[in-house]
Structure 1
Amino acid sequence: MKVELENLFSIDESSQDQVIKVYNRYGIFIDAPEIRKRNLKASFNPIFTLNEDVTYEHVADLYKSLEHELGIVSIGERFYFDFSDSEYEQASLFTLNSTGNSPEMFLDDRGTLFSISTYCHHCGLMEKEQLSPLVIDTSKIEDRHLVHVSGFWVASERLVTLMKQESIEGYDLLEVIHQGPERGRQPAYQIIPKQILPTCSSERVKLYFATEQPPCRCGLSGVINGPDIYNRNAITNLKGDVFFSAEWSHDGRYLYRKTLFSRKFRELIIKNNISREVKGEKDRNFGPKDWLFDPVLFK
């Protein structure tokens, strides 16, 4: 697995050679940008690999040089985690990051009862305990099979049937409450894992955006966690196909535990043409209905 960082900012065409020289000075070699036809701004979005020679500390210094030497202060950042074919082939667990390259697959909660408490008084992250079935507009699911609601996965009736037919194990189902138009209403079920995985390995990559505030002292807000990594011996005896992570994730406001799925579950999705097999966000085959599974790594 390698970590890649994408930058995005705009500059005047006359400054492009100076920008490239600053990147080169820090061991990052990029090409000249394409100039937009409607104005004189050049859009820079180089993608480069972070490694022992180009660390994130180097990148933070690069940003300071761009600011002090060229006045560039607004720099967009995006991390990518690029896995090898062998890492996909050897993984027994996967993290499901998306069930469609589309924001419509993240549905709004419409009145679920939660108990809310403050987790961190510095960044304001909140914990919530679910007290009732999820309340959503099930007509929004349409022909999709799994949608994300406030940190939870909700499955269509067809997907639940397939999971039972293929003997997918390790979860409970809780039928959601429909609130919305009757037309298009359909049965849907929250998937609730029965098991929590061991804690991740200390070798898990942890990053942050140099262009934003430093991470909070709670260790969650402002931290970008890399792929899940486990000590192989810690999960040898695990059985089932659906698991909660031990670590908290968050949506910027509320905490939740990620759900991880087995290879068997991923193969069921591909075999039944629910998704094509895609490997990463930059996969050219990643379409609007494809599911994005990242392999869990083992040490």
Structure 2
Amino acid sequence: MKVELENLFSIDESSQDQVIKVYNRYGIFVGAPEIRKRNLKASFNPIFTLNDDVTYEHVAALYKSLEHELGIVSIGERFYFDFSDSEYEQASLFTLNSAGNSPDMFIDDKGTLFSLSTHCQHCGLMEKEQLSPLVIDTTEMKDRHLVHVSGYWVASQELATLMKQEDIKGFELLEVIHQGPGEGKRKAFQIIPTQVLPESSTERVKLYFATEQPPCRCGLSGVINGPDTYHREDLTNIKNDIFLSAEWSHDGRYLYRKTLFSRKFRELIIKNNISREVRGEKDRNFGPKDWLFDPVLLK
């Protein structure tokens, strides 16, 4: 697995050579952006690999140089984790990062009851305990088989039936409450994993955005976690197909535990034409309804 960082900012055509020279000075070799019209700002979005020669310390120093020398202060950042074919083929577990390359797979909560408590006084992250079935407008699921609601996965009746037929194990189903129009409503179920994985490896990659505030002392807010990583021996006796992580994730406000899925579940989705085979966000096959599974890495 390699870590790639994408930058995004705007520059004038007259300064592009200077920008490229600053990148080159830090061992990052990028090409000129395509500028179709003169005297207009162009988007500049180099993507480069972080490694022993180009570390995050190099990148932070690069940003300071861009700011001091060229006045570039608004720099967007995005991380990509690029997996090898062997990592896909050897993985027994996968992290489902998206059930469709589209905002339509995110559904708003419509009134689920939760109890709330403050997890961190410094960044304000909150813990929540679910006290009622999820409440959603199931008409918003349309023809999707899986949607994401406030940190939870909700499956269609069709997917729930398929999982039962294929003997997918390690979960319970809780029917959601429909709140919305009567026409077009669907029967749907929250997937509740019944097994928690061991703690992940301390070798898991942890990053942060150099353009933002340093991570909070709680170790959650401001941290970009790399792929889920475990020691091989910790997963030797793991059975079933759906699991909760031991560690917290968050959506910027609330904590939740990530759901991980087995190879059998991923193959079920592909075999039944629910999603095409997709390997990474930059895969050209990654369409509006394709599911993005990242392999869990073993140490």
* Coarse TM-score class (shorter-chain normalised): over 0.9
Q: 2:70 & 2:202 partners in 1: Cα distance?
A: 39
TM-aligned CA deviation for residue 104 of structure 1: 1.2
> Equivalent residue for 2:219?
219
Q: 2:188 & 2:234 partners in 1: Cα distance?
A: 34
Please state if 1:161 is matched with 2:161: yes
> Equivalent residue for 2:74?
74
Q: 1:180 & 1:49 partners in 2: Cα distance?
A: 46
Indicate the SS of the match to 1:195. Answer: coil
Contiguous gaps of at least 5 residues in structure 1: none
- Specify the code of the residue in structure 2 equivalent to 1:192: I
TM-score, normalising length: structure 2: 0.99
Spell out the pairing of 1:10-21 with structure 2 (5 A cutoff).
10-21=10-21
> Equivalent residue for 2:113?
113
Alpha carbon RMSD of aligned pairs, Å?
0.7
- Specify the code of the residue in structure 2 equivalent to 1:208: Y
Alignment identity in percent?
85
Indicate the SS of the match to 1:215. Answer: coil
Runs ≥4 in structure 1, deviation > 6 angstroms?
none
Q: 1:91 & 1:148 partners in 2: Cα distance?
A: 24
- CA distances 1:74-113 after superposition (whole Å, capped 9, x unpaired): 0000000000011000000000000011111100000000
- CA distances 1:160-215 after superposition (whole Å, capped 9, x unpaired): 01101110000000000000001111110000000010111011000000000000
Q: For the Cα contact (< 8 Å) 1:91–1:295, is it kept in 2?
A: yes
Q: 1:29 & 1:194 partners in 2: Cα distance?
A: 48
Distance 1:70 1:117, change over 3 A: same
TM-aligned CA deviation for residue 36 of structure 1: 4.2
> Equivalent residue for 2:104?
104
> Equivalent residue for 1:268?
268
- Specify the code of the residue in structure 2 equivalent to 1:5: L
Indicate the SS of the match to 2:21. Answer: helix
Q: 1:146 & 1:96 partners in 2: Cα distance?
A: 11
Contiguous gaps of at least 5 residues in structure 2: none
TM-score, normalising length: structure 1: 0.99
Q: For the Cα contact (< 8 Å) 2:12–2:39, is it kept in 1?
A: no
TM-aligned CA deviation for residue 38 of structure 1: 7.6
Q: 1:271 & 1:132 partners in 2: Cα distance?
A: 34
Q: How many residues align?
A: 299
> Equivalent residue for 1:43?
43
Q: For the Cα contact (< 8 Å) 2:13–2:39, is it kept in 1?
A: no
TM-aligned CA deviation for residue 43 of structure 1: 1.4
> Equivalent residue for 2:132?
132
TM-aligned CA deviation for residue 40 of structure 1: 1.8
Q: For the Cα contact (< 8 Å) 2:13–2:38, is it kept in 1?
A: no
Distance 1:221 1:36, change over 3 A: farther
- Specify the code of the residue in structure 1 equivalent to 2:262: S
> Equivalent residue for 1:255?
255
Indicate the SS of the match to 1:115. Answer: strand
